[in-house]
Structures are given as C-alpha cells and as structure tokens.
Amino acid sequence: MDINDLRRMLKAAADDMQIKAKAIEDLEAADTPDGDAIKAAVTEFEASEADFKKVQVKLTRAQSIEDAKAATATSELEAVTAPQAAPAAAANPEEKGIEIGFMAHALINAKGDRDKAVESLEKDGHSAVSAALSGASEGAGGVTLPRPQATQVIELLRPRVTVRASGAVVHDLPAGELRNARQATPASASYGGENAAMVESEPTFDKVEEKFRKLTSLVPVGNSLLRHSSASIAIMVRNDILREMGLKNDLAFLRFDGSGVLPKGLRHWALADHWEATVGKDPAVVEQAIRRIKSKVEDANVAMVAPGWIMRASAKNFLGSLRWPNGFKVFPSIDDNGTLHGFPIKVTSQIPDNLGVGGDETEVYFADFAEIMIGDALQITFGTSSEAAYVNQAGDTVSAWAQDLTLMRAIAEHDMAPMHDEAIAGLNGVGWSL
C-alpha cells in the first residue's frame, strides 16, 4: 500500500465521519429526539473517528519514511557525484532527471524486479540511485518511483507541454480527486437613498472537479542498447519517456473532449461565444479577430495574471509575416520578441492544421493560464516486458520478442480544469500556413 492509497483511505474516512455527524444532527433536530438512536449514532461516529485517526497515523509515518529516503538519496547522490577538493560548479541541466533513466534502465534489465534492479545499480556504482529505488513501491502496475524522483520527470515535462509551460498552476491530487469551489455569478452592489432598503446580493457558487486521468506511454527499447550501462543510455531512456508522455499530454490539455477516461482540453472548456469559428487570411479580418478573442477574456474581468497564446508554429509564422497593403507588418512583435499584443506565444505541433471542411484550418488559443489548474499525482509507475506485442503508429502489430525489444510502460495520472471558463478563448484560422 503506497502513500496515495493511504491518502485515499484518509479521505474516505473523513467522508464517513461527515455522514455519521449528519445523522446525529438529523436525530437531534427531530421533534421527539430518540435518545437510544442518538446514542447509537454517536457510537458509530466515534468508531468512524477512530478509523480516521488510525489511517492518519499510518499516513504520517509513510510520509516521514518517504521524506527520509528522499533525503538519504539526495545526500548520497551529492557524495558520489560532487568532485572532491574542486571548486563549486553549476549542475549540468542536461543531466537533470538522469536518475529516472538509470532506474528505468535497471528495471528493464531486471524484468521489473525492483530488488535485482537495486543490486544492478549498486554493482555499477550508482549507490545513490539504488538507495532511491529501494524506496519505490511495487504493485500490479509495476514499480512506482519515489515522489522526489518522479517529480523531476514532471518538472522536465513542463517545457514540453505548452499549457504547463504557459503558467498553469500545478497542484497535488492527494486522494485521486479534488473539488474546488468557485463563484459562478458575482455579488452585486447598488446605490440607494438614505433610508431606502438595500437590494440583496445573491452570488451563486458551483464546483470544479478534477479526477485522475491515466496517461500511459509505451516505449520500445532495443535490447542491444540495454546491455550497456552508461549515462548516455540513461539519458536516452529518460528522453524517450519525456518525448512520448509530453506529446500526448500536450494534445490532451489542448484538444481532448473529456469523454470517458480522457481529460478535457482548453478547446472544449472554452465557452461558445469565446471562440471565433472561421477566420480568413485578410489582414484586417485577422487583426480584428485576434483583438476580439483577447477582449473576450479581458471583458470577463479575468485577472490576466499569466496571459498567453498557444498555436502551431506555422500559424505563428503566418501571423508574423502578415502585412498591411503598405508593406508594414501587422504583428511586428512576433518576430521582434515572440509576443502577440504583448503576451508570450508558445508553439506546439500537437495543434492540427488540417481541420475544417476544407482541411486547411488550425486553432489559436488565448487564456489567462493562472486560471488553469493541473492536478497531478506527482508519481510515475514503470512496467516492462520483453514478450509482449504492441501496435506501432503505422497500425502494424510488432512482437517485442521477435524484434529483440523490451517494452517500457510509464504511467502518470493527472487532470486539468479552469477556475473560470471565461479565462479561455480562441479561433479557427483558415489557410494560416506558409
């Protein structure tokens, strides 16, 4: 049982306490309270409270163990990697998260056996990495890496996923689900006479829910490479994980529709009147459409803490080259400093350019990304197999055994939701490619 299981159990125990407390309140509020029934309800509440405290103690202990192992792994890593009697030097950013690559590499060679993977790392001199891996939990899904190491992967995904990179707020989903209250309609204020009755204000509230959405990445690795143990192989494995998970995560947070087990992306969170259906190539039409979608967000009283644009590179290049009849650029800031109307642009190939009836439309997103919440489990689970088969991007079934491959499966869990839908706007550009 890992720490997230305990968190889910703690939440369930708290919910049960709330139900039991409500039952007591209902009995006490009755016209003729039944003393025996109240006494029995109080007993049930106390039992539920005792269960909560037991789980709370276990969770506190598990958290302490995880923190201790993380501290041990960090101190050992510093002892192994820090040069002795040498001047301080900045860490190589290219090697960030390399521990994940070493762990995955060892687990693959050990066919998912954590203990054998730890022994292998120790033998190769990576005692700091083996110390961290020894604290990983095992389950039916594979080996779940300790949170301090898994968090490095999530940090490295940030620049690869445009919604994350644009300033979305990432927070932990401690029990697999999170409900955030939000104000749906605001309070009102009005002027009145000296002795006139004040007009009441009735703001309304609703909630934003986030649940774990499981993202899986299946990466085939040649066994000839796995027979070697070096930093370059570890980095290659790490990069494979990041590339596959990053591309899918980027697409999900932008365009998935939220059906079934899928996250709901910005395109489907955007309100209907915040989206421009089809915008042609005329400079005046394009300029007005860009201003309109920006105004939709600004006019909704959004704070504009971290506003920005997301689009395909070809759409950015189209806008950057767009000129008025007199030859002046419509959006000179795109080439000058990578901004549009003063706000930064992020580009991704995950936005299609073949949408619409004519197959020549693309999408442009504008949002205050401080309003976008990403709930993350902050953990990665690895599983491996050298016997399984997989379907490649061409639709062909490939046997890992026949091709001398090992399949590495990485699983992450997260979800995304905006605090307010009004913070998102966008358009479909027609023929916006060079």
Domains of the chain, each with CATH number or no CATH: 3-79 (1.10.287), 96-177+204-434 (3.90.1690)
Q: What is the pTM of this model?
A: 0.69
Distance between CA atoms of 62 and 54, rounded to whole angstroms?
13
pLDDT in tens, the chain (434 residues): 667 677 778 888 888 898 999 888 888 888 888 888 889 999 999 999 999 999 888 888 887 776 676 565 544 444 444 444 333 333 555 667 788 788 888 887 887 788 888 888 888 877 778 877 877 777 666 788 777 777 887 788 888 899 999 999 888 776 556 555 555 555 556 666 767 766 666 655 555 666 778 887 777 777 776 666 667 777 777 888 788 888 889 999 999 999 888 899 999 999 999 999 999 999 999 999 999 999 999 999 899 999 999 999 999 999 999 999 999 999 999 999 999 999 999 999 999 999 999 999 999 999 999 999 998 887 788 877 777 777 776 778 888 788 878 787 888 888 999 988 999 999 999 999 86
AA letter at 385: S
Distance between CA atoms of 357 and 344, rounded to whole angstroms?
30
